[in-house]
Structures are given as C-alpha cells and as structure tokens.
C-alpha cells in the first residue's frame, strides 16, 4: 500500500493556495510516499488548467520521489449534482467533466466524486432521497462517458451526504453501471460516523473499492467535531486493515486530515506507520 496525504491536509491546502511543488516537498519530508491532488474551479490545478499546465505539473511530479495517482474533487458541496436547481446540476456536471479530463492530463488514475447530497452538516438544504438517487445515477452515467474516454476511474465516496446508509445499497448502486471505470473511494472514518462497522463495509464492498481514505472519529462526540488524529478515535484499525488485506487491496491509503496545524503532517505520518504495520 502507498502511504499518502491529501492536499487538503497541507497548510492552505483547502484554500487551494499551497503550491504543488511545495506540497511534494512537504509530503516527502513528513515521510509520505504519495500525495493526492485536489481540483476546483480555480487555482494552480483547476478545471481551467490547460493541457500544457497539467503536463508541466506532471513533469514536476515525475521529478519527485512522491507518487501522485489520485485527484479529489470537493466541488459537489458548492455545486450539488443532485440539486433541486437544474442550473446547479448542469454546472456540476460541466465542472466534473472538465475535472476528469484534467485528471487524465495530469497523469492520475482516479478521481473522487460525490454524486449528490441529500443533507449535510455543511449544507442547509435537504433534498428528497429518491430524487437525489435518481439524479446521482444520471450524473454518474454522464460522467462515466468521459471517464471511459480519458481512462480515469470515477470513484464514488461514502461521505456525510445523507446517501448510501447501507453497504448493500452502495453495492447495488455501483453494480448498476456496466463500466470498468466505476468504483468506490472508501473512507474508513466517514463510515464510523454515520454508518456501521468499517471492516464489514470493506468486506461487502470488496473489489469495488478502488481507493481508500482514512481519518479517525470519536463516536461519543458524534458531530464534525468528532474527527480527530489517527489512533485517537474509535476506528477499529487492526480489523479494518485486515479486511483490506482480505479483499486484496494494495493501492493508495490517503490520510484526509483537517484542519491543518503545525504538527499535523508528522503526527499523521507516525500514526500511519503504526496502522500500516497492523
């Protein structure tokens, strides 16, 4: 497995103002073998980046010992693909179509996508579950056309979006698309917050898991404030790592830790060494 850190975990990473060259150096110094890029409407790597811009970024990545295989998009929070507003849905698809192309241009293999939001602690609207599921299905179908053309895996994340409360429902959703480019971006900490036992989800989702995020969570708090340093929460790490081994997962393990503080990268790196040795 490749020990990696999210761009969002770096200083000013969420704001998109941390340079990618600096991110590569920071990741290496902290002991990470990999880095996950993020893409948004603007910034050094964005939906407006040209092919030449993306190829320059890849050249700099290739000159670094740090592996960069994945891209995360948080654009669904501002542009919900399942919004009741058709204009927002249309814009979301436009943005994510552009993002998939740039993911390919920057030489990455997979892009994280949140297909729709029913409700969330960070969004005021609540949308009917069935409408979100229908719209999410349509959005994924359309984006898969692009994913197949550019050769990028479209990875659906389990996140606090009020969707897919059961691993069986998630399996059914993924299997409804007849494409080799569809997969799951499995977040272990997110499951503990809203769902059930992470190792069971891993075993049930099985080969559909293409990429993995990790964070930790304190169930006794139960809100966004429950997310905490790795090994400081209630994630059953030994069982979760055993489950990943059982399904043969051997790709990137990306720590998505927020907000940034001065010691975050080093604490996370040290904890990941313990977790990956389990």
pLDDT at residue 25 tops 90: yes
CB atoms within 10 A of CB 269: 18
Give the residue-averaged pLDDT of 28-57. 97
pLDDT for residue 195? 76
How sure is the predictor about 144, in pLDDT bands with cuts at 50, 70 and 90? very high
Percent of the chain whose predicted confidence (pLDDT) is above 70: 99
Cis peptide before 259 (omega within 30 of 0): yes
Regarding beta strands 182-187 and 153-157, do their DSSP bridges make them parallel or antiparallel, or are they unpaired? parallel
CB 110 within 8 A of CB 2: no
Nearest to 64 by CA among 4, 105, 145, 17: 4
pLDDT at residue 196 tops 90: no
CB 173 within 8 A of CB 128: no
pLDDT digits (tens, 9 = 90+) for 207-252: 999 999 999 999 999 899 999 999 999 999 999 999 999 999 999 9
pLDDT at residue 274 tops 90: yes
Nearest to 254 by CA among 94, 67, 91, 117: 67
Domains and CATH numbers, the chain: 2-276 (3.20.20.150)
Q: Is 162 left (phi over 0), alpha (psi -120 to 50) or beta?
A: left
Distance CA 39, CA 41 (A): 7
pLDDT for residue 278? 97
Nearest to 195 by CA among 207, 187, 203: 187
CB 113 within 8 A of CB 73: yes
pLDDT for residue 192? 87
Give the residue-averaged pLDDT of 99-128. 96
Distance CA 39, CA 61 (A): 16
pLDDT at residue 88 tops 90: yes
pLDDT for residue 254? 98
CB 236 within 8 A of CB 244: no
How sure is the predictor about 158, in pLDDT bands with cuts at 50, 70 and 90? very high
Give me the chain's average pLDDT, please: 97
């Amino acid at each position: 497995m490749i020990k990696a850190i999210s761009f969002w975990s770096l200083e000013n990473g969420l704001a998109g103002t941390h340079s990618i060259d600096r991110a590569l150096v920071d990741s290496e110094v902290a002991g990470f073998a990999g880095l996950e890029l993020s893409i948004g409407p603007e910034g050094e790597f964005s939906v407006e980046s040209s092919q030449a811009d993306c190829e320059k970024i890849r050249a700099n990545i290739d000159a670094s010992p740090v592996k960069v295989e994945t891209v995360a998009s948080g654009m669904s929070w501002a542009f919900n693909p399942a919004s009741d507003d058709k204009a927002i849905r249309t814009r979301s698809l436009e943005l994510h179509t552009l993002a998939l192309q740039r993911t390919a241009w920057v030489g990455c293999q997979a892009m994280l996508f949140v297909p729709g939001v029913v409700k969330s602690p960070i969004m005021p609207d609540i949308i009917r579950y069935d409408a979100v599921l229908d719209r999410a299905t349509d959005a994924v179908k359309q984006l898969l056309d692009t994913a197949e053309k550019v050769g990028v895996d479209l990875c659906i994340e389990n996140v606090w979006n009020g969707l897919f409360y059961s691993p069986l429902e998630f399996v059914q959703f993924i299997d409804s698309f007849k494409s080799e480019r569809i997969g799951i971006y499995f977040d272990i900490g997110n499951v503990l917050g809203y769902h059930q036992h992470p190792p069971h989800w891993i075993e049930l989702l099985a080969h559909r898991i293409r990429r993995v995020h990790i964070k930790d969570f304190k169930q006794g708090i139960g809100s966004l404030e429950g997310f905490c340093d790795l090994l400081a929460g209630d994630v059953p790490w030994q069982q979760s790592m055993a489950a990943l081994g059982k399904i043969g997962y051997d790709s990137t393990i990306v720590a998505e830790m927020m907000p940034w503080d001065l010691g975050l990268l080093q604490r996370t790196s040290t904890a990941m060494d313990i977790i990956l040795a389990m």
